[in-house]
Structure 1
Amino acid sequence: MKVVTLVERDGPARSFVVGNVDAETVSSILEEQVHQETVLNTDEAAYYKKVGKKFAAHESVNHAASEYARGTMSTNRVEGFISLLKRGLIGMYHKVGTQHLSLYCAEFDFRWNTRTFKDTERMAAIITRFAGVRVKYGGQRQRAIAMNYNYAL
């Protein structure tokens, strides 16, 4: 199971469950989700090199050379997010089926995106997303609802 996550500096996170993490997949996600005037911060993975040229700038850190930050450039936010996602999935849910991984990722995106909210504000944000919608397990409707609350902030 593979997940590509984008985290905006001081902004929201978006996660995508993908079959393969390769240049084509990463490229299509970045081109669709990220504005071309963005400065892209990544690690040294080869699949970022070509797509990085399509943005205002592309900076990368070289983890293989023990480089984790250079000035204000780092991948620490997205690595922190992935760490929380992994620990949450293993620690809370223990085992996640591939067919439901996108829903779990949407939950953790929501948690990240509302991390500065008070509990009452977070609950209000959850409730307003489901107003007038009958939620039941299974099918495409639930997946659509879960994905919408991921990006509605």
Structure 2
Amino acid sequence: MIQRGGQVIINMLDNVRKATIKPFITKHVAKGTQTYTDEYSIYNSLEEWGYRHKSVCHGKSEYARDDDKDGIYEVHVNTMEGFWSLLRSWLRPHRGISQESLPLYLGFFEFVHNAGIRGKGLLQPLISLLVT
């Protein structure tokens, strides 16, 4: 999950069923939050769970929508799609990552994104995290 312009949370789930994803969402997302998803049916219950929900239908070639006609296409999942693209590109050279090691790679990538720092500037926050 990613907050537009904000933090990301990466968590490997055992499966993508409602019973698995609901506790993850309710733990990390405040009730009443506006959520944006693709058309995957697992998200159909978001409003029942207390969230405002809008989706785009990639299956119908819809990738962004301007519901209020103000010229800004606010209904999209491009933020998350872009994040996954960066993650896949970063993981590509690390071929053959085991299932046991993958959470470490994902955790590091999440940390780097959330720190908002690149290059040598990342060293101090990383050391601080490791020694606390």
Which interval holds the TM-score relative to the shorter structure? Answer: 0.7 to 0.9
Which 5+ residue runs of structure 1 have no aligned equivalent?
A: 1-5, 133-153
Quote the Cα distance in structure 2 between the aligned partners of 1:42 and 1:36: 16
Instruction: Name 2:107's counterpart in structure 1.
Output: 106
Instruction: Name 2:38's counterpart in structure 1.
Output: 43
1:65-84 aligned at under 5 Å gives the runs 65-70=60-65, 71-84=73-86
Quote the Cα distance in structure 1 between the aligned partners of 2:82 and 2:108: 16
Higher helix share: 1
Instruction: Name 1:17's counterpart in structure 2.
Output: 12
Q: TM (normalized to structure 2)? A: 0.86
Instruction: Name 1:62's counterpart in structure 2.
Output: 57
**Pairwise CA distance, 1:118:** 5.0
CA contact (8 A) 2:46 2:52 kept: no
Distance 1:8 1:14, change over 3 A: same
Secondary structure of the equivalent of 1:40? strand
Q: Give aligned pairs, total.
A: 125
Amino acid at match of 1:106: G
Quote the Cα distance in structure 2 between the aligned partners of 1:120 and 1:85: 20
For 1:66-102, what per-residue CA distance to the aligned partner results, in whole angstroms no more than 9, with x for missing partners? 1111121210111111111122212x21111111111
Secondary structure of the equivalent of 2:11? strand
Which 5+ residue runs of structure 2 have no aligned equivalent?
A: 66-72
Instruction: Name 2:130's counterpart in structure 1.
Output: 130
Q: TM (normalized to structure 1)? A: 0.75
Quote the Cα distance in structure 2 between the aligned partners of 1:103 and 1:55: 32
**Pairwise CA distance, 1:23:** 1.6
Quote the Cα distance in structure 1 between the aligned partners of 2:40 and 2:51: 19
**Pairwise CA distance, 1:120:** 4.2
CA contact (8 A) 1:85 1:108 kept: yes
Secondary structure of the equivalent of 2:46? helix
- Percent identity between the aligned chains? 28
Higher strand share: 1
Secondary structure of the equivalent of 2:53? strand
Amino acid at match of 2:95: H
Instruction: Name 1:145's counterpart in structure 2.
Output: none
